[in-house]
Chain A
Amino acid sequence: MIEFHQVSKQFDHRTVVDQLTLNIAEGEFTVLIGTSGSGKSTTLKMINRLIEHDTGHIRFAGEEIRCFKPAEIRRRMGYAIQSIGLFPHWTVEQNIATVPSLLKWPRARIRERVTELLGLLNLDPELFRDRYPHQLSGGQQQRVGVARALAADPEVLLMDEPFGALDPVTRAALQLEIARIHELSKRTIVLVTHDIDEALSLADRIVLLDQGRVVQQGAPAAFLTDPVNDFVRDFVGRSDIGIKLLSLETVSRYARPGEMPQGELRGEPISAHLSLRAALSAFVSRRVDTLAVIDGQGQPAGVLHFADLLRREPA
């Protein structure tokens, strides 16, 4: 979908992106991660030509992006940023309708789309449609920002630290939201963040950048099990790599399905959808070594033993 080939960018003789080669597959959730100044934001903005690259080639849908007019390519890509950038003098509806109006969609279709998107982002359409941005909380504003980015059904969704300014609770809720949207639409998403937990929980593929170069890219688990060097190890956090590994797997894959709970297992059974990290927390806080597991319908789904956490392969 998006290919970088030997792309470099300099600002005032300082190389920000250095010979970057990167392939973002269609339908993939790619997270660009790195410290401040690693070039991750610049890389993202080169995709929709907010920043023009100096050398190399960037292809979008097989074509060099310089062949497109900047405005045209941007309308085909959704764009959400940390400061949200809602237009303060427009209502929520007008904000979301920005790109559809630019594309001259008929009114009825725009209205319908706004209703649909507000619903998708858990905002009551009738309540929020006519509000102004200053009447919304930070989390609601960012939901509108994401809805606006999705409005014209873009081929790619670009997000530049979209949840950076939100409190942890709101951020977690919106992360779930965006994971669900990706699950539903299988849209290509490129997200920039400096938060490794956000990257681990959202990404199909993580690209770790440092000083404008790719240090490591691949599936989230690979960052934890096979870090290529100390920089990666430090970045993911040496001391809690194990915990993070557990957070990538769900209880359902490790529980022993046929087994019935023996005797009295203390406390409520745990949901099969929880991560192993949450299961570990339950083991420790309840001081037990076996937990009863139930599935989504509340039916028994086997037992999880403490030792199961250490197994390499699922049951």
Chain B
Amino acid sequence: MTVKVTNRVLLTLLLLMLAAALGLPLLTDAPNRLVDGHGIALSALMRGKYVWLLLPFVVLVVQSFAPQRRRTQVLSAVSATVLLSCLTMLAGATATALSGGPDSFVRISFGGGFWLLFGLNCLAATDAIGRATISRPARIFFNLLVFVPVALLLVGGQLDQLSIMKEYVNRNDVFDAAVVRHLQIVVLTLLVSVALGLPMGLAAMRYQRLQRALFPVLNVIQTIPSLALFGLLIAPLAALATRFPWLAAHGVSGTGMTPAIIALVMYSLLPLARSTVAGLEQVPSGVIEAAHGMGLTGWQVFVRVEAPLALPVFLSGLRITAVQAVGLTVVAALIGAGGLGGIVFQGLLSGALDLVLLGVIPVVVLAVVVDSGFKLIVTYLQAKQHTTQQMSEQTSEQTRPA
């Protein structure tokens, strides 16, 4: 009997997992939060009941040689999820065993091995889910399901002795305030962006000459590095606040939330205006002609035909804008806007890696949630309208890195 690899992707991921498990420490053990710890390998921890960790791994190896059926993919997704959860549980339990009493300064942190294994397992699960399910909403749902066990461990206090959770306990109120501020900035940015970007897109659609002038300008803004744009706004806004005290009374100043939101809005205008135009342009001209020909007034054509048909594409633009704002708001902390970036930079400055992670992880989670949420809405709308999603995919290329 010959053995044939049926899922190269999975096998590659598994080989990488093996390398990560053997070559990198799963956790690090440090006497306090500021010094580098020494690594703890996964092999050192695989004693007693944790030997069972090998089981889901072996199942995954078998699946990459098994015939690719739906059942195979379900088994792979479940195995990857189990492996992910068990690794997290192992990390939590090890931290509890090693960290000593409540007065101890000992810090057990995630090592490179853990992050790699975590990421590779996510990829394996996502790949299997992608192969097993066709509908996009179901795919998003199952992808979120992968993280439920980890979330339960977190809420259940199993991970409390890990360094990152200790950082959280120490900065509980700061963290909560940062999350709230972060969301505040993102939501305000989106509201202002829609209020400006949508009319801009509509105007650009109507007046071709404006479109030719507008998009190059917005394009140039997109190319300015975020930090530079934040910096550039400090002087003019500070001057404005000094010149007009009532502006200062309403929160306008060179640093803080106002310049952050202004800069974020400037970045959001291009994707929003562009997706508005793209959305309206993809409405078939025959449909619009028929609507006019049947006696709908201009306003009725817009409200009943053009707007609903353009909405999915517009929302795809809004999705890009939202994800971009979540990321860029981190940088805005540098000009005193607050948010999760504040925690990140504090961690960077004091060399406390776990503090950095405490800021970064919620940003990543937030970005994923926002992205999935918008995707779900767009998918729902498109299913309802029975239109293709080609156009919304095309506008997605506008994503910019923070």
Contact = CB atoms under 8 A, between A and B. Distances in A.
A31 B18 CA distance: 76
A148 to B, nearest CB: 7
B292 A50 contact: yes
A50 B296 contact: no
A98 B286 contact: no
Given A74-B293, A74-B294, A102-B296, A89 B385 contact: yes
B301 to A, nearest CB: 10
A60 to B, nearest CB: 14
Interface string A46-75: 001010000000000000000000111111
Interface residues of B, number: 23
A273 B288 CA distance: 42
B295 A72 contact: yes
B309 A81 contact: no
Interface residues of A, number: 29
A134 B384 CA distance: 12
Interface string B297-309: 1001000110011
Contact of A102 (B295, B305, B385): B295
A88 B294 contact: no
Nearest to A99: B294
A259 to B, nearest CB: 53
Interface string A73-114: 111000101111111110000000011001000000000000
A133 B386 CA distance: 9
Given A89-B308, A132-B386, A134-B386, A84 B293 contact: no
A81 B293 contact: yes
A227 B226 CA distance: 74
Contacts of B386: 88-89, 132-135
A88 B293 contact: no
B293 A83 contact: no
A89 B289 CA distance: 16
Contact of A85 (B286, B295, B297, B300): B286
B293 A79 contact: yes
Contacts of A134: 386
Interface in B378-402: 384-387
A87 B287 contact: yes
A79 B287 contact: no
A83 B294 contact: no
Nearest to B311: A89
B284 A83 contact: yes
Nearest to B308: A89
Interface string B343-374: 00000000000000000000000000000000
B289 A74 contact: no
A86 to B, nearest CB: 7
Interface in B125-177: none
A75 B292 CA distance: 10
A88 B289 contact: no
Contacts of B292: 50, 74
A76 to B, nearest CB: 8
A38 to B, nearest CB: 20
A85 B296 contact: no
B116 interface: no
A87 B296 contact: no
B286 A83 contact: yes
Contact of B309 (A83, A89, A145): A89
Nearest to A148: B294
Given A71-B296, A83-B284, A102-B295, A89 B290 contact: no
B290 to A, nearest CB: 3
A84 B294 contact: no
Contacts of B286: 81-85
Interface in B265-304: 284-297, 300, 304
Given A88-B385, A89-B386, A89-B387, A81 B290 contact: yes
A81 B295 contact: no
B291 A87 contact: yes
A109 B297 CA distance: 23
A86 B287 contact: yes
A84 B296 CA distance: 16
Interface string A240-275: 000000000000000000000000000000000000
Counting chain A CB atoms within 10 Å of each CB, which of B297, B304, B309, B386 scores highest? B386
Counting chain A CB atoms within 10 Å of each CB, which of B284, B295, B297, B385 scores highest? B295
Contact of B295 (A71, A82, A88, A89): A71
Contact of B287 (A48, A82, A88, A102): A88
A145 B284 CA distance: 15
Contacts of A84: 286, 290
Given A50-B289, A86-B290, 9 more contacts: A71-B295, A81-B293, A83-B285, A87-B291, A87-B305, A89-B308, A89-B309, A102-B300, A134-B386
25 contacts: A48-B293, A50-B289, A50-B292, A50-B293, A71-B296, A79-B293, A81-B289, A83-B290, A85-B286, A85-B287, A85-B291, A86-B290, A87-B305, A88-B287, A88-B309, A88-B386, A88-B387, A89-B309, A89-B386, A98-B294, A98-B296, A102-B296, A134-B386, A145-B290, A148-B294
Interface of A: 48, 50, 70-75, 79, 81-89, 98-99, 102, 132-135, 145, 148-149, 158
